[in-house]
Amino acid sequence: MDKTELDLSRILVTLDGMSKNMSSDMREMKNHLTVLDKKVSELNIHYFNQVKEDARINNRLDTMEGAVNDFGAFINKAKGALALVLFFQTALLAGASWLVTSVISHEKEITLIEHQISVERVLK
């Protein structure tokens, strides 16, 4: 073998070793990328589950806010009804007080008139 063939065979052996090392490195990188791909897929699934959960929670919050608003409206209506009842109660009490006062006033007048009539009878 001459020197050229010997150099070529060394280069071939070196290239073959490099090729085996590169193949090994490539397999290792491929395995690493496969693991990363699985992790990314798991994270995507987790993310989409979180998005669904967030949507469900937001829906529940919207429902609760609607219920609170409805309850607030009911309370406001109840306050209005109570104010109306209190107004009628006050008006009824005022009317009853006026009626009692009028009756008492008329009784006094009747008593005075009866007294005057009895005085006039005595004087006649």
| Residue 76 confidence (pLDDT) | 94
Task: Dump pLDDT digits (tens) for 60-98.
Answer: 999 999 999 999 999 999 999 999 999 999 999 999 999
Range with lowest mean pLDDT among 3-17, 49-63, 103-117:
3-17
Confidence of residue 10 (pLDDT cuts 50, 70, 90): confident
Confidence of residue 43 (pLDDT cuts 50, 70, 90): very high
| Residue 26 confidence (pLDDT) | 82
Question: What Rg, from alpha-carbon coordinates, does the chain have?
Answer: 52
With 70 as the cut, is the pLDDT of residue 1 above it? no
List Cβ neighbours of 103 (8 Å cut-off, separation of 6 or more): none
Q: Specify the residue for token string 């009626």.
A: 99
DSSP H helical ranges for the chain: 3-123
Q: Specify the residue for token string 């006050």.
A: 90
